[in-house]
Chain A
Amino acid sequence: GEDVEQSLFLSVREGDSSVINCTYTDSSSTYLYWYKQEPGAGLQLLTYIFSNMDMKQDQRLTVLLNKKDKHLSLRIADTQTGDSAIYFCAEIGYGGSQGNLIFGKGTKLSVKP
């Protein structure tokens, strides 16, 4: 079945770049997403990439997609303490009339001053 895998923890120093990796299984996924969850809050859509793209840049965020290896990454440049959160990778699964998102377990990013 569909599955999304992420490492559970990442720790970086303020000002460094963070790279969060994700692998997925459904090669037919049309969109892949990154969500951010701050403590005590719901998930917030951070960015997404269409499957026919291999890179998307949005300010400090860069998403790279390797469709052949089914590997997705999120790079955060100049990481700040406010970036500390759990980051979820998600792919569209297919069921019924609309797909639903299949989430990874999330990567907890800790940013040290």
Chain B
Amino acid sequence: DAGVIQSPRHEVTEMGQEVTLRCKPISGHNSLFWYRQTMMRGLELLIYFNNNVPIDDSGMPEDRFSAKMPNASFSTLKIQPSEPRDSAVYFCASSLEGDGYTFGSGTRLTVV
């Protein structure tokens, strides 16, 4: 298995632009998580899905952030419009209920 695949690995965008981050979970995993990591705040859970259904999105910072999981093999995290304070590393992770999480390599987002 190729593991959790995230794209792009790096994204540099201008303030105000729309940014879309993508994630392909491990086949057969039924839960998917989006995390944001910054030096100041550490690792923060933004949203998680179970069987493609959003379960808890209380970590999504603002309405500018939205996440979808149209099927079991794909999820997106969208920021529109982006702001410099959104600069962070965004991780996607997946798991099969009861097991540990497998993380992707992350997307490093820089908003200038």
**Measuring CB to CB, which residues of chain A are less than 8 angstroms from any residue of chain B?**
31, 33, 35, 40-45, 48, 88, 95-98, 100-101, 103-106
Contact call B103/A100, Cβ cutoff below 8 A: no
What 0/1 pattern do residues 1 to 22 of B give for CB contact below 8 A with A? Answer: 0001000000000000000000
- Interface of B, helix, strand, loop or mixed by DSSP: strand
A95 CA to B100 CA in the complex, in Å?
Answer: 16
Shortest CB-to-CB span from B103 to chain A, Å, is: 4
Of the A-B pairs whose beta carbons lie under 8 Å apart in the complex, a sample of 27, sorted by A's number, is A31-B100, A40-B105, A42-B93, A42-B103, A42-B104, A42-B106, A43-B91, A43-B101, A43-B103, A44-B103, A48-B100, A95-B56, A96-B50, A96-B55, A97-B55, A98-B31, A98-B50, A98-B55, A100-B45, A100-B48, A100-B56, A101-B45, A101-B101, A104-B42, A105-B42, A105-B43, A106-B43
Knowing A43-B103, A45-B100, A96-B50 are in contact, say whether A88-B56 is a contact too (CB < 8 A).
no
Q: Is B102 an interface residue (CB 8 A)?
A: yes
Which of A33, A43, A97, A103 has the largest number of chain B CB atoms within 10 A? A43
Q: Is B97 an interface residue, CB under 8 A from the partner?
A: yes
Interface residues on B, range: 20 to 34
A-contact bits for B69-112, CB 8 A (1 contact / 0 none): 00000000000000000000001010001001111111000000
Q: A98-B55, A105-B42 are in contact. Are A45 and B31 (CB under 8 A)?
A: no
Instruction: Give the distance in Å from the alpha carbon of A44 to the alpha carbon of B3 in the complex.
Output: 11
Assess whether A45 is in contact with B102, with CB atoms less than 8 Å apart: yes
Closest A residue by C-beta to B101: A101
Using CB atoms, name the residue of chain A closest to B42. Answer: A105
Chain A residues within 8 Å of B100, by CB: 31, 33, 45, 48
